[in-house]
Chains A and B, each alone.
Chain A
Amino acid sequence: MSEVLFEIRDLVKEFKGVTALDRVSTTIRRGEVVFIVGPSGSGKSTLLRCLNLLEIPTGGTISFRGRDVSTRRRLHKFRQQVGMVFQHFNLFPNLTIHRNITLAPVRTGKATPAEAAARADELLERIGLIGKKDAYPAQLSGGQKQRVAIVRALAMNPEVLLFDEPTSALDPEMVGEVLGLMKDLVRDGMTMVVVTHEIGFAAEVASRVIFMDHGRIAADGTPDEVIRHSPQPRIREFFSRVL
């Protein structure tokens, strides 16, 4: 078995008395492609955002590569190893595409400006957007923005990439290009945790699927076990409606 990246034990998150996560425990290993699915409000995004501590858990522990990070004070060192892709891209509109990508590697000391620039060129080349390197985010389409956001996270060479509904804000004709890039990453062996409503995509590329309901993990297994042949009627009903 490969190295354990995330070890999550009895994770609880409450928002003003409302329980979003209710004693969630799971493990994420290097090389896994874990899709988190489930109905709206089931706690999928909250679980994902707890993984890099954008949400601070109310209870339980999160360990990353054997170290408890949920009680750490200086989180940026930990976050440098965990990339994240957001629903609304969150590119920095005041910076060019190129600067969006090089900012973090340079400022965190991971790369010299020259190294970061070369790496950014290489990544932009790979997604076919090298021609836009000096453009600003506002000049790009949604699909282009999301692909830039993905390579911006990749530029930090993270151990794992978190995706928070990466295609939900896109026009339908742009979903394909983003899923295509994600598929490439799967092929490269990237460890990924993905929250999505693209169940078909999950069934195709996931190594594991976690089904969440009411803040708990209701099912956790291969795509076959969870999506196609779940013994639980509630889960079968959910997938019959979205597939």
Chain B
Amino acid sequence: MRYFLLLMTGLLLSGVWGCSGSDKPKLVMVTNATFRPYEFVSGQKIDGIDPAIVREIADALGYELEIQDMSFDSLIAAVQSGRADIAAAGITVTEERKKQVLFTDSYVIAEQLIVVRRDAPYQMVADLKKAVIGVQHGTTGDLYVTKNIREPERYAHAPLVISALLAGKVDAAVLDSEPARVFVQQKAADLRLLTVPLTSEEYAFAIGKHNPDLLVRVNRELRRLKQEGRLDSIIRHYRELCEVEAEQDVVGGHRSMMAHLRDSLYVNFVKDRRYLYLWNGFLVTVCVTFFAVLLGIAIGFVVAVIRSTADQTGRWKAADWCCRVYLTVIRGTPAVVQLLIIYFVIFGAVDVNKICVAIVAFGINSGAYVAEIIRGGIMSIDRGQMEAGQSLGLTYSQTMRMVILPQALKNVLPALGNEGIVLLKETSVSGYIALQDLTKGGDIIRSQTYDAFLPLMAVALIYLAVVMLLTRLLGILEKRLKRNE
């Protein structure tokens, strides 16, 4: 079942890849860009050891490279389904994975290292029997710890594991050696590595089983890069780059609170123009919310009118039944599940902008709640209004349009505003489809600075400010409408 779902996910995900206008054949590489120095987001693009190596190979083979970011646990499924050509994300070669995909020759030998807090008593692997261990979900560290030590705490990406370790949520973090070294260097005052690695492993690229030809060609290029020494120089380049960046991001441990805060603010928001993640994310969030609210009101309006007409006149039975099914399904399932289904299943085979997907998903979700709000508003209007309209010779729909709905909408405006506010916050799950909304923007900053506090606070404050502004605007609008009474 699990594999089926993975397969589905990968299959559908891959349908969303964009197309570009070049004549060269395209090589689609998937990765999970939270794994320094192998892959990480730098500015607006994905960089690191893996992208650099695959780019060299793609160039040599005459492909145009396209890189897609996705969750680590979907990578295998993506190449397995054949929609992505190569997965390059510091993937460890394991027997289980070999059953699913073809692996190239390994390009690096990595170790799983154990990171602990500096003051913790742990010295070797055996000490960890009773410790709470944090891992990145779906990684070899996860597999190894689960199999050989105990059930770990699984986080979405490596920086979160470190955040959890720093916050005392876990006692030890098991990570790949490269990022683990970077983290420890950044937080040298708080963290240290256990000297003995937990296990060592080979990294290789994964290619779909249907594509042995590509495997042969990639291996040939990989061998060439090794012989030319190019492979080593790429790896060295990115290791050094990340070490330098890590040094710059170190926030000194023994200075005053204010100085510390100032440094944190600088590192989290100013350095490398990181505030742009928040700003761009904010724009995405506002855009998704705005159009989803419009769509939700349109859908809710239609559904509410169909439902009340069926209730009051006995017409439109079939449409009413459809509306009931819609309401039951949408209100009976979580928004994030609906979002994933719409992204992976409904729009799986088509190339659609993620923002559009989010607007459609949240609009459809909100429509169900808006429908019931508006229906309540229609029901709350005195029966005499419909009778008066009809006694004057207006039709049912004329009376509905010109008399009932304007009153109903005015009555439900506060409830609709509230629904908009709920929706604004609901869109924070957009990160599930790798849409960089405000929440995800904060996540990206955290993945670069390993500071859980400030980015989260900033994100929370922005949401709060928008909600307060909306509440204020709604109040003014309500007051305006009340003047007519």
Contact = CB atoms under 8 A, between A and B. Distances in A.
Contacts of A84: 387-388, 391
Which of A77, A79, A82, A94 has the most B CB atoms < 10 Å from its CB?
A94
Nearest to A77: B393
A25 B332 CA distance: 54
Interface string B390-425: 111111001000110011001000000000000000
A82 B387 CA distance: 13
Contact of A156 (B382, B393, B398): B393
Chain B: interface size category: 20 to 34
B384 interface: yes
Which of B392, B395, B485 has the most A CB atoms < 10 Å from its CB?
B392
Given A94-B403, A94-B484, A76 B385 contact: no
Interface string B208-219: 000000000000
Which of B387, B390, B393, B403 has the most A CB atoms < 10 Å from its CB?
B393
A136 B392 contact: no
A76 B390 contact: yes
A103 B384 contact: no
A219 B382 CA distance: 34
B390 A86 contact: no
Nearest to B484: A136
Given A88-B384, A103-B402, A136-B484, A82 B407 contact: no
A88 B385 CA distance: 10
B485 A90 contact: no
Contact of B485 (A77, A136, A149): A136
Nearest to A137: B485
Contacts of A82: 391
A152 B392 CA distance: 8
B394 A108 contact: yes
A54 B388 CA distance: 10
A79 B410 contact: no
A138 B485 contact: yes
Contact of B392 (A75, A79, A93, A95): A79
Chain A: interface size category: 20 to 34
Contacts of A103: 392, 394, 402-403
Interface in A84-105: 84, 86, 88, 90-95, 103-104
A161 B435 CA distance: 63
A153 interface: yes
Tell me if B's interface is mostly helix, strand, loop or mixed. Answer: helix
A83 B403 CA distance: 18
A52 B384 CA distance: 14
Given A94-B403, A94-B407, A107 B485 contact: no
Nearest to A80: B393
Interface string B446-485: 0000000000000000000000000000000000000011
B407 A156 contact: no
B225 to A, nearest CB: 74
Interface in B346-396: 382, 384-385, 387-395
Interface string A183-196: 00000000000000
B388 A92 contact: yes
Contact of A93 (B390, B394, B402, B485): B485
Contact of B393 (A54, A90, A104): A104
A79 to B, nearest CB: 5
Given A94-B410, A94-B484, A138-B485, A86 B387 contact: yes
A75 B394 CA distance: 9
A55 B209 CA distance: 72
B403 A79 contact: no
B407 A93 contact: yes
Contacts of A162: 391
A90 B390 contact: no
Contacts of B390: 54, 75-76, 79
A222 B389 CA distance: 33
Interface in A4-36: none
A92 B401 CA distance: 12
A142 to B, nearest CB: 15
> Top 9 closest A-B pairs, CB basis?
A80-B393, A90-B388, A104-B392, A84-B391, A90-B384, A138-B485, A94-B406, A79-B393, A76-B395
21 contacts: A76-B393, A76-B395, A79-B393, A82-B391, A83-B391, A83-B392, A84-B387, A86-B388, A88-B382, A88-B384, A90-B385, A90-B387, A91-B388, A92-B403, A93-B407, A94-B410, A95-B403, A103-B403, A104-B389, A107-B394, A107-B402
Interface of B: 382, 384-385, 387-395, 398, 402-403, 406-407, 410, 484-485
Given A54-B390, A82-B391, A86-B388, 18 more contacts: A54-B387, A79-B393, A84-B391, A86-B384, A86-B387, A88-B382, A92-B388, A92-B402, A93-B407, A94-B410, A103-B392, A103-B394, A103-B403, A107-B402, A138-B485, A152-B392, A153-B391, A153-B392
